[in-house]
Each structure stands twice: as C-alpha cells, then as structure tokens.
Amino acid sequence: MQGFGDDIFFASIAELNTRLRKKEFKAEELTKAFAHRLETLGPRYNALALPLTKTALKRAKSVDDELKRERFRGPLQGIPYGAKDLLALAGHPTTWGAKPYATQVLDETATVLNKLDATGALLIGKLALVELAGGGGYRFPSASLFGPGLNPWDVTRWSGGSSSGSGAAVAAGLVPFALGSETNGSILTPSAFCGVTGLRPTYGLVSRHGAMALAWTMDKIGPLCRSAEDCGLVLQQIAGGDPLDHGSAAKNFYYAPQYARKFTDLKFGFSPADITNAEPDARPVFQAAMEVIRSIGASMVETALPEFPYAALSGIIISTEAASIFEPLITSGGVDQLADVKQAEGLKAGLEIPAKDYLKAMRIRSILKQKYRELFSNVDVLIAPVRGTIAPKVTEPLNGSPVTSGMAQLVTAGNLAGLPALSLPCGFVNGMPVALQVAGPPFSENMILAIGREFQNRTDWHKRRPKV
C-alpha cells in the first residue's frame, strides 16, 4: 500500500483530486489509507457508526479505471468521505444513532449519496450522531448509541451535536469531508467546536430524500470540510432539485465565488454585543477575527436581529413535527429505549402540543421570514460567533445559552428563516477552537463562500491540526 504521511490526511479536496489525476497515487490506495485511519481512530472519538471499506475499495477500482482513461467527472472523483448515519444506504444498517433502530436496514439510498457516487466520491463510513439527531431534546453528550462524541482537540470535551461524528472525523483527518445535517445548529456547532469549516445550505437547496426526518420544515443537509473552498465543491455536487423531496426548492448550485460581488460593495451586519457576550477568554479572539473581517473591505454596519421568541418558536415547531414523525416509536413504548430519559419524555410531550400552538408558531415564523427579507435589504450578510464558548466537557449537562442580546440567537433564527450559513474557524481559546458564522439571505451560498474563502486566505486557523 502507498505510504502516506499525515499531510495527505489534512489535504484539501482540490489537492487530493489533482494528485489523483496526475497519477501520483491511485484512488484505491487513497481510500485504503483513509479507511484504515477511520476504522483505527474513529472509535477513539466515538465517531464511527459503520465502516464501509469493502464496498468503497471495490468502487475505487472503477474510479481508477476512469482516471486511467482520463474520464474526469469532477473535483470529488476518487475522494473518500463519511456520512452521518441518518442517511440511508440500501442494504446497510442506518441506526439514526438510537437503540430502537440499531438493526434497521433500509432498501433505499439517500439522494445525496447517489449524487456523490455519480461524481466518483467514495463513501468509506457512516458517522455517529446524537440519537434521532436530538429530537425531543437531550441533556448530555452521551445521548447516542455510539457514546458521547469526543473532540479530537481534547477528548474530555464534546465534539458537538448532533453531527458529532462528522465534526470529529474531519477534524482528526479521518475523512477529507463529511455530510451532516442541521435542524437547529447540528452542522454549525460541531464545526465550531472541532475547528472545521461547515456549511448549512439554504432550506430546500439539498435533497433530504433518504434522510431521517426530524422536522420537515427545518431539516437541511450540508458538508463539513477543511475549508470554505471544499464546502463549495461538495455543495455543487449535492445541491439540486429532487421530486422525491417535497421541500425541494428545485434549484441548482454552481460554485463560482469569482463572480460574487466585490467585497467593497457589500455591507456586513454585526453586533458589538457579541464580543462582550462571549466568555472572557474568548473576547480577544473574536475581536481579532472581526478585525480580519473588517480588513476584507466591506462596510461594517451595526445590526440587531428582529425581536422574536426564537427558542420558543423553534421548540414548538421541532417538537410538534418530531412527535408526528416518531409517533409509532412513542406510542409503541420503543421511545423508552433512548439513552436520555429527558429526550424520551420530550418526544412524548410533543404529542400533547395543541394544533393551535403549532399553527400560531408557523404564522409567527412567516412574519419572521418577512422581517429577515427586510433586514437583508439593509445588509448583505450577518457576521457573529457561532457559539460564544468552547466545547463543554462531555460529563457536563448541556444547557442553552441564556444570552439573547446581540446575535446570540442567529443560529436558531437562521434555521427558522431557512438561511444559509458558514462556520469559519477563527482562533483558539484555552487550546480549543472557536468560530465565526457568516449568514446570508436564501441562495446566497456563493457570496458567503467567497467571504469565507477570503477570510481563510488571510488566516490559517482552518489549517491547524489536533494531535491525533
């Protein structure tokens, strides 16, 4: 087998693909190396749900045949990757991270996995997640069939949820990129805690067909990668309309940041309160990151989020939709097999939410979306910390932030409004990564990726590696 140094495991998608095209090594060799690393180190972080080495190597041989004949399919051809274990792969277990579904085998494959297969990307493993992607609410990182997601920067700390395995696997160089999902922070949070770059696409841009549903009107699938550039390359392949997803926006995406508007023509919305709201040791780090943002050349405009009961709205909508989705699990008593009792009780309580409360929340949500359309007539993007703190200890209960001023609620607001957002590593606090988010109006992915790419041209936080 080709001998690979650590540099290869932290290389960008473009670099790996270029070297494959130059025939410096074969896709089969690259896949074997990453698959071995994932199988060996994945359990260290409770990140691996299911190895798929055998099928990946078989597929890699066909990719090598294509490369030999110079049949190039795109930048993901020959690139190994991992996928959150709520994405169905026909004939293989899809556990949704929960004991009641530990032996579940579905007969369909998720649209995003089919799209990646068509471009020659190689799925080497399913990755761990918080049970049922956190449906019902959970108190501890241990709420998973696979145990608590452990952070490669410090295994006593959490890798973030619910895409815990995806964040840890990319951070530790176990996969060049991974797919995660987000309903209310499950891509941005593990990206921030693990020091990787994560993209939450606009609602409806990426098909959810074949993915476990948590909340039909809020679920999104997106990539966790080494860089903004890599996120754009992956999004280009997985985006697009899908008649099998009733929430599909029927829009395609072509990654072309070079055609984004000039930074000097843009207005970046920010709030000074976000710095003072952060934990004390994090404030100078976020302040320095905001200075880099300023240096890009856009106008900085002090901005406040529209006032809404964000937590209550998201709580009612997610709880009601999740309870409807998992009603058979709840009524059968299978819900009591979940690792977190609070989560089981939360799902049960969702069945008791009156229809009038759900409908009222949805009506308020439509007003919220209108307010964000108005907000983006004054600024082009919003810039704020993803989280004002570092990853918590895995033994600590998970408590929501009491902070509501500034843009502390931007993650929830963005999910309610269906906005795209990009998590960018922006420094370290006590040895742990923190991140900024760049959020924009619907279908502004090229703009926020261009901003992310420029930020990463001026910093090297996304290139830092944990000691694995």
Q: What is the pLDDT of residue 93?
A: 98
Q: Largest Cα–Cα distance in the chain?
A: 62
Domain 10-257 and domain 262-309+361-463 have a common topology: yes
Give the separation between CA 464 and CA 196, rounded to whole angstroms. 9
Q: What is the pLDDT of residue 335?
A: 98
Q: What is the pLDDT of residue 1?
A: 46
Query: What angle is formed at CA 369 by the lines to CA 364 and CA 374, rounded to 5 degrees?
Result: 125
DSSP string, 240-278: S--TT-TT---------GGGSPPGGG-EEEE-THHHHHS
3-class SS of residue 466: coil
Eight-class DSSP state of 401 = -
Residue 264 token pair: 């000097």
- Name the helix (H) or strand (E) containing 125: strand 122-127
Indicate the fold that domain 10-257 takes in CATH.
Answer: Amidase signature (AS) enzymes (3.90.1300)
Give the separation between CA 108 and CA 92, rounded to whole angstroms. 10
For the domain covering 262-309+361-463, report its CATH number: 3.90.1300.10
Residues 6+ apart with CB under 8 A from 280: none
Q: What are phi and psi of 380, to 5 degrees?
A: -95, -35
Residue ranges of the chain whose pLDDT lies below 70:
1-2
The string over 358-379, giving b where at least 16 C-beta atoms fall within 10 Å of a residue's C-beta and e elsewhere, is: beebeebbeebeeebeebbeeb
Domain boundaries, the chain: 10-257, 262-309+361-463
Q: What is the pLDDT of residue 190?
A: 98
Q: Where are the beta strands (DSSP E) in 159-196?
A: 178-182
Q: Comparing C-alpha atoms, which of 75, 78, 87, 133 is closest to residue 114? A: 87
Query: What angle is formed at CA 85 by the lines to CA 328 and CA 358, rounded to 5 degrees?
Result: 45
The end-to-end CA distance of the chain, in Å, is 22
Kindly list the catalytic residues: 84, 162, 186
Give the separation between CA 145 and CA 340, rounded to whole angstroms. 10
What are the tens digits of pLDDT across the range 48-71?
999 999 999 999 999 999 999 999
Give the separation between CA 309 and CA 225, rounded to whole angstroms. 32
Residues 6+ apart with CB under 8 A from 37: 9, 173, 174
Q: Comparing C-alpha atoms, which of 167, 130, 134 is closest to residue 145? A: 130
3-class SS of residue 336: helix
Give the separation between CA 82 and CA 399, rounded to whole angstroms. 29
Give the separation between CA 380 and CA 36, rounded to whole angstroms. 44
- Name the helix (H) or strand (E) containing 299: strand 299-302
